[in-house]
A and B are shown apart, each in its own frame.
Chain A
């Protein structure tokens, strides 16, 4: 399996290879980064604030004299972990609802689709701001808010796929055989929409990374002492005037992560047309 994945990766265009490398790199950082951190996350270790690059501090020090590299490694785990979990939750919910709509008949589909159409016409940042104001922003709530915000988008794509597949002959045959709706949805329809759904999952992940780091940047996302990459940009904003590495490094980290995913999805053969 690893060999076939490797073969596949070799056929990607250069931009796809770059994207794949970036994605794998950030996944590895999210998994193992905190173990490799040279200093404890909250420790004041540098002599000065906003130090430049040095052998002791590869990415300099932050506004309190903490090691930027160590904080970045731990922040990446929050960003990647939260966004991946939220994207999975959003995709699973959206797809489950879409399958329900596809096999449930007009009575189920009409109200569900109208409701999702309504939710999709609230701009996602605005929607999440209202949700944050109402619920607050603890880590589980942030995960939930990001997921809720992007369920409608996934639903719309999954429903279009599922409704098409539900018309196919082999699904009609399954229906004539007397298979239950649940069985048809899971074993006949779902396996055939996995590929476009994976591409959509990647897009949701990018949107959610940008949303969550945007919220953290506004001070409405991950709250101290926890910090994701967006919080790192926010807390070091006073270093902007000196062009500190402490502010540039986390911002570049977010961009390489999202651009990497985007390049990878774009290079996949037969990718789904997202937004």
Chain B
């Protein structure tokens, strides 16, 4: 009996997850249309831009033809999209290299930075979140509330500036530019990225800690916790043994949502510290109006964001006791 119901629950969860996955793909497709349309709204066109004011009409027409700009918009969209999917999003106009090559150089750096930031931010955020939930309404909780509330609103470049002032100007511990290269050993690399990680962590930790606190407090108000407290279980045990197993899914959900702040934060942080990642590449693409490169970078960021949202939703679905298989 129980087996049958858990099996059908599993099926329902799987079909929900399948639907959620399909809707993410559809959203990504619509996002690609939006980005393509906006990028095509560029006043003047890329051929004119590339040749400058002095080009003759014939030259511009020839280049337009060569770049395929004389085809109708939907044909260009279709060929761009198939290119994106098959790993060839076109030619970077400024670098005169395939976009795929430029991105392949930068993407691993950004992923590594994000992974290291998550590694630092998650334990700290969990400690702060759970700690302030246990102290709900107390002094520590209120102090942490004000602290995280303020940290959420501090611009990344202030954190970065203060970090540089302290660690490279005053203490001279860390370099103020984060260069990542093949020859560098892990020690040098970590010294280089310490401040970018610190800067990115601040906002992520604040966000994640607030959401973790909310998730734990949501559980604290349930009757089973009251029961555990009444039978005399120590507070730490209540949190670890009783609350955590139930709060873990909302917390994972909160983590996925907060990590999406990394995507925006990276744009500023990589630029300040000259970190050779995808976000600083995208800023360069904006400055030089390198549209193929910009479109590809934007799509990667959007896909990463949608993936995090998908993870958040899937954990929420799996956590639903009516759907979770026992």
Contacts and interface: CB of A to CB of B under 8 A. Distances in A.
Contacts of A110: none
Interface string A207-240: 0001001100111100000000010010000001
A117 B43 CA distance: 28
Interface string A118-130: 1101111110011
Contact of B31 (A121, A206, A213, A248): A121
B83 interface: no
By CB atoms of chain B within 10 A, which of A15, A124, A130, A210 has the most?
A130
Given A126-B298, A126-B301, A130-B294, A251 B263 contact: no
B305 A121 contact: yes
Contacts of A261: 153
B156 interface: yes
Contact of B157 (A15, A129, A214, A263): A214
A267 B81 CA distance: 48
A55 B165 CA distance: 24
B271 A118 contact: no
Interface string A244-271: 0001100110110011011100100000
Nearest to B158: A251
A218 B301 contact: no
B155 A258 contact: yes
Interface string B1-38: 00000000000000000000000000100110011001
A253 B306 CA distance: 34
Contacts of A1: none
A191 interface: no
Interface of B is mostly: helix
Nearest to B285: A133
B42 interface: yes
A133 B294 CA distance: 8
Interface in B289-313: 289, 291, 294-295, 298, 301-302, 305-306, 309
A124 B267 CA distance: 11
Contact of B271 (A218, A233, A240): A218
Nearest to A15: B146
A22 to B, nearest CB: 11
Given A126-B302, A214-B267, A131 B38 contact: yes
Given A126-B301, A214-B267, A214-B268, 11 more contacts: A118-B27, A122-B34, A123-B301, A126-B267, A129-B282, A131-B38, A133-B291, A217-B157, A251-B155, A255-B155, A263-B150
Interface of B: 27, 30-31, 34-35, 38-39, 41-43, 145-146, 149-150, 152-158, 161-162, 164-165, 169-170, 176, 260, 263-264, 267-268, 271, 282-283, 285-287, 289, 291, 294-295, 298, 301-302, 305-306, 309
14 contacts: A121-B31, A126-B267, A130-B294, A131-B38, A133-B39, A217-B157, A217-B268, A218-B268, A218-B283, A220-B286, A233-B161, A248-B165, A251-B158, A255-B154
Instruction: Give me the 9 closest cross-chain CB pairs, A-B, nearest first.
Output: A125-B264, A258-B153, A251-B158, A262-B153, A133-B286, A259-B150, A118-B30, A126-B301, A255-B154
